[in-house]
């Protein structure tokens, strides 16, 4: 999921990535560490705000995208859903997560 967000945005702050994926730092940090060890991302301090960590894809991270482009077709085949249905389900899941995590 981290790579999917980065393929869309190229780079994002640690905080922004956590918010996008609904993950806390304790969950996100080990995932980013593994991706960094595999050479798919780079974590570096923001030049504008030293407190902020920016996550950026490496060349290898971008190339990895080509290897996983077959996954959506496999999902469509297995579920019998088309792209629009999957997008609709994704939107509904995000809305549900938002409702569950919003303090009332």
Q: What is the pLDDT of residues 22-64, one digit of tens each?
A: 999 999 999 999 999 999 999 999 999 989 999 999 999 999 9
* pLDDT the model gives residue 40: 95
pTM (2 decimals)? 0.65
pLDDT band at 104 (very low <50, low <70, confident <90, very high): low
User: Which residue bears the tokens 């809305």?
Assistant: 95
DSSP character at residue 44: E
- What average pLDDT does range 15-25 have in this prediction? 93
Q: What is the pLDDT of residues 67-99, one digit of tens each?
A: 888 887 888 889 998 889 988 998 999 899 888
Q: Is there a contact between 55 and 12 (Cβ–Cβ < 8 Å)?
A: yes
* Fold topology of 1-67: Arc Repressor Mutant, subunit A (1.10.10)
Cα separation, 85 vs 80, whole angstroms: 10
What does the domain layout of the chain look like in residue ranges?
A: 1-67, 70-104
């Amino acid at each position: 999921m981290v790579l999917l967000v980065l393929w869309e945005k190229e780079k994002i702050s640690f905080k922004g990535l956590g918010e996008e994926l609904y993950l806390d730092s304790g969950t996100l940090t080990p995932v980013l560490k593994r991706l960094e060890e595999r050479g798919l991302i780079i974590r570096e301090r923001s030049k504008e705000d030293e407190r902020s960590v920016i996550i950026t894809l490496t060349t290898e991270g971008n190339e990895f995208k080509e290897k996983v482009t077959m996954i959506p077709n496999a999902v469509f085949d297995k579920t019998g859903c088309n792209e629009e249905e999957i997008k609709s389900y994704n939107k509904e899941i995000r809305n549900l997560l938002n409702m569950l995590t919003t303090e009332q």
